[in-house]
Amino acid sequence: MNTDQAMKSANTGFDVIVVGGGTNGLSAGCYLGMEGKKVLLLEALEKVGGMASSGYLIPEAPLHLVHPCALDMMSMRVHAQVPIELQLDRHGFRSVELTPGYVYLHPDGSSLVFWRDRERTAAEIRRYSANDAQAFLAFMGVIDMFLDIALPMMRVDPARTNLGAKLKLVATALKHRKLKPELMALMTGSAHQAARERFEHPVTVSAMCALTGLAGDISADGGGIYYALLGFLHRFGVGRVVGGMQQLSNAMRARLEELGGEVITSATVTEIVSRQGQVEGVRLADGRQFSARAVIAGCHPKVALEMVSEGEIPRQLLTRIAMAPANAKGSGPLKIDLALDGQIAVPRFEAARGDGLDLRKACLLIGTEEAVLENFSACARGEIPRLPYITTAAPSAVDPSQAPEGQDVLYIYPPVMPVNPREGWDAVRERVADQVVEQLSAYVDGIQGHVLGRWIEAAPDFTARLNTVNGCVVHIDTTSLRSSTMRPAYGLGGDTLPVAGLYLGSAGIHPGGGVNGMAGRLAAKRVNAYLRKPAK
């Protein structure tokens, strides 16, 4: 921050302070700015974006753009009203759709493309099993029903009556009542069970496991809801931000500043100041204080509530949020980004398909049914999986501006790694990265012998850098019991907290994780309503 910024920030006449400049903090700030509110956004890191960021992080390869966290735009395509309402296109935000988006690679060289068109996906599956193709199309009917019920509810404040959304829900339920038993079985059972119930071929079953494993433990009861991903892929497709994820966050910052908001980076909040149940402002690590009638916590809900002045949040609620699940089953993300001196290729799989499809541009899923299951159970024991389940993509294959000409940057994301391996990540980080890269090289050519440098982060690294909990990518685990007003926990997901004027506004509240800005949008609406009430 320069001196001008510091001087300007001495101003205390803010309506709202937003703690954290991730997608949700930024979106909350923008929506409030659009309502004419004076917003101050404080971000601990040196730039905005949080988990939605990209940058040149590998010193040996200063022109290879790294995405240390989120890469794909699926969630924001589901909630496409956010970039439209915020007019982000005027601030340089552009995205492209991936065709195809996600492709499952089986060890024997076969592959299964999840096209946006369900008939094309069914045709892929038919290559392995006609029964599976038929079962897939029937399954998509159940998923459609699920999305038609869930999506309207994701777009409203669950603390309100929402008569319109509920009527839609009832109408959908009545229209598709024959599917109700299947929907109930899906929502209460595991993602693995749902795959096993319907599909017979190992490629189909494995592809479903590898896709849903991105959302959580495929053997956990209630994990059938992870098939929302399958529905999203087919209804909305997958996109990428042109120029890298940071462009989205920068566009949101630019919009906020255009609306008169102030953004201060490298500004760590240490206390959300509250007195007698009323929020007053925040205190920073460097001693500065800012006051406002309302504070939105765009950071993890546990981090937020533990920062509130002592004694202001009942001990019971602090315990409840401390125990809310964040990678509770012991598995969390590992990220490895490689700067390569050449380009990757996937010739074995392309040749086996024989249809000329360019797999370099897709997001590749690697991990059989057995591997995905083993990964989750190994992590629960604090062990490194034997054959890590991996998702990978070369962002530079879609957007060549992200690496020097003729070279690639490779995004490698094994989503199921132990949060706390027995040996500790410091002892195993490099070795596990080698293991993952070696395994990936059995599927993707052009990696071994071509690495200029790499960036590695495991769960504790995400926790430390982003001030989150257990490196959880969605702040609070995605389960049906942690949805709606029960997210992040019963008593904390409604439109009021024990401290008046304090609002949660991150992936840890409704409607949950992903780069979408919806939780921030919800928090902004709540704060707007609060500010309309006369000050006490």
Ligand X SMILES: Cc1cc2nc3c(=O)[nH]c(=O)nc-3n(C[C@H](O)[C@H](O)[C@H](O)COP(=O)(O)OP(=O)(O)OC[C@H]3O[C@@H](n4cnc5c(N)ncnc54)[C@H](O)[C@@H]3O)c2cc1C
Least CB distance to ligand X at residue 467 (A): 4
Report in angstroms the alpha-carbon separations of 437 from 42, 343, 383, 404, 433: 37, 15, 18, 21, 6
| 395 lines the binding site for ligand X (CB under 6 A) | no
Among 61, 103, 492, 515, binds ligand X (CB under 6 A): 515
Choices 56-64, 194-202, 399-407, 468-476; region in contact with ligand X by CB under 6 A: 468-476
Using DSSP, state whether 156 is helix, strand or coil.
coil
CB closer to ligand X out of 71 and 203: 71
Residues 519, 509 contacting (CB under 8 angstroms): yes
Q: List C-alpha distances in Å: 23 to 11, 166, 255, 524.
A: 25, 28, 13, 13
Nearer of residues 79 and 360 to ligand X, judged by Cβ: 79
Nearer to ligand X, 68 or 172 (CB): 68
Q: Please, which residue, 72 or 124, has the CB nearer to ligand X?
A: 72
Q: Which of 131, 420, 467, 485 contacts ligand X by CB under 6 A?
A: 467
> Torsion angle of alpha carbons 486, 487, 491, 495, nearest 10°?
-110
Nearest residue (CB) to ligand X, 172 versus 333? 333
End-to-end CA distance of the chain: 34
Tell me if 447 contacts ligand X by CB under 6 A.
no
* Site residues (CB under 6 A) for ligand X, limited to 285-304: 298-299, 303
Task: Name the residue among 210, 234, 236, 237 with its Cα closest to residue 137.
Answer: 234
Q: For residue 295, give the nearest of 30, 500, 476 by alpha carbon.
A: 500
Backbone dihedral angles phi then psi of residue 14, each to the nearest 5 degrees: -95, 145
Please tell me the distance from the alpha carbon of residue 56 to that of residue 71, in angstroms, as a whole number.
15
Q: Among 14, 22, 86, 223, which residue interacts with ligand X (rule: CB under 6 A)? A: 22
Q: How far apart are CA 41 and CA 312, in angstroms?
A: 23
- Does 333 contact ligand X by CB under 6 A? yes
Please tell me the count of residues contacting ligand X according to CB under 6 A.
40
Among 75, 121, 204, 212, binds ligand X (CB under 6 A): 75
The alpha carbons of the chain give a radius of gyration, in whole angstroms, of: 23
Stretch that binds ligand X, among 84-92, 172-180, 223-231, 509-517 (CB under 6 A): 509-517
| Minimal distance, residue 365 CB to ligand X, in Å | 13
Residue 25 near ligand X by CB under 6 A: yes
DSSP string, 382-406: T---SS--EEEE-HHHH-GGGSSTT
Q: Which stretch binds ligand X (CB under 6 A): 105-113, 179-187, 495-503, 510-518?
A: 510-518
CB nearer to ligand X: pick between 70 and 208:
70
Give buried/exposed letters for 244-261 (b at 16+ CB in 10 A, else e): bbbbbbbbbbbbbbebeb
Least separation in angstroms between residue 5's CB and ligand X is: 16
* Pair type for strands 14-19 and 239-241: unpaired
- The whole-angstrom separation of Cα 314 and Cα 319 is 9
Looking at 17, 19, 208, 456, which residue binds ligand X (CB under 6 A)? 19
Q: Measured from the CB of residue 508, what is the shortest distance to ligand X in angstroms?
A: 7
121 touches ligand X (CB under 6 A): no
Beta carbon nearer to ligand X, 408 or 461: 461
Residues in 44-73 at the binding interface with ligand X, rule: CB under 6 A: 44-45, 50-52, 69-72
Whether the Cβ atoms of residue 259 and residue 87 lie closer than 8 Å to each other? no
Closer by beta carbon to ligand X, 306 or else 341: 306
Q: How would you classify the pairing of strands 14-19 and 289-297?
A: parallel
Q: Which chain residues interact with ligand X by CB under 6 A?
A: 19-25, 42-45, 50-52, 69-72, 74-75, 268-269, 298-299, 303, 333, 335, 413, 462, 466-468, 473-474, 506-507, 513-515, 519
